[in-house]
Amino acid sequence: MRFDWEELPETDAIISALSHDLRSPLNTILGFTEILLSKRIGKLNEEQQKQLRIILKRGNLLLSTLDQLIDYTKVIRHEQKLRPASLALNVLLTSTMERIREGRPAEAPPLIYRAAKGSYRIRGDEQKLHTIFMQIIHEGEELFQPREIRVSLGKIRNTGEAPSSQDFRIAIQFLGRGIMDPRELLVWNSSSRVPGKTKFALHLADFYMRLMKGKLGVSRKKGCIEFTLDFCEEEQ
């Protein structure tokens, strides 16, 4: 079944109105949470601060999801285009890892990334790629509860029967026990254990990777689940 987006003129209006209705009370909650954490109206114990930080984190993630939903509808209606530019994957990935580590709590699992040698130049939308990396790591950490997260960047070696049409690969591994079947991440049904927000984040990642002539993959290996993001080298 195919949707004719021209026959749905009110889609953007509905989503914008919904975003506004959610954003207004959410901003109030987040603002009051920040006031409480500032201790301007009284002291808080450690547990209270911990719970308030969770509210702040989840609320900001929801705001980000609303923005992404609006951007997504604009892209599929051809009202907004990606902004491709020449990018060095190693530089982009290094800056993303640094940003993730900045607000990372001490009890979070280790996030291991060793900067790759070489430029690994591609053409892509920097903002969208940054969001993809951040979301996969955040959603995977929350869903899988891994003991360790490993990120790597390298060239794809075409040694199998089905060679890849891409040149570079970023691999994000979540190591731990009890990792679920990755097929659950790709199926939308009521029995799935995967939250809707996680499925939406992965759908967006897959959608934008395809627009940038890339490929998103997920597989389960011994003791871990691995996401792969494959990219084509920028033409000279």
Which pLDDT score is estimated for 220?
A: 85
What local confidence, expressed as pLDDT, does residue 136 receive? Answer: 92
pLDDT of the residue at 158: 66
Domain boundaries defined on the chain: 5-76, 84-231
Q: What is the pLDDT along the chain (236 residues), one digit of tens a residue?
A: 444 545 545 556 666 676 777 778 888 899 989 998 888 888 888 898 889 988 988 888 888 888 888 888 778 777 778 899 999 999 999 999 998 888 787 888 999 998 778 878 999 999 999 989 988 998 888 888 899 999 999 988 765 555 566 789 999 999 986 556 666 676 666 666 778 888 888 888 999 999 999 999 998 888 889 999 999 998 76
Report angle CA 192, 196, 197 to the nearest 5 degrees: 140
Q: Which of 176, 211, 234 is nearest to 80 (CA)?
A: 211
Q: For residues 79 and 70, is the Cβ–Cβ distance under 8 A?
A: no
Distance of alpha carbon 112 from alpha carbon 151, whole angstroms: 6
Bridge partners of 189? none
Q: Kindly report the three-state secondary structure assignment for every residue of 68-126.
A: HHHHHHHHHCCCCCCCEEEEEHHHHHHHHHHHHHHCCCCCCCCEEECCCCCCCEEEEEH
pLDDT score for 5: 44
Query: What pLDDT does residue 159 have?
Result: 57
Considering the segment(s) 84-231 as one domain, its CATH architecture is 2-Layer Sandwich (3.30)
Predicted pLDDT of residue 3: 45
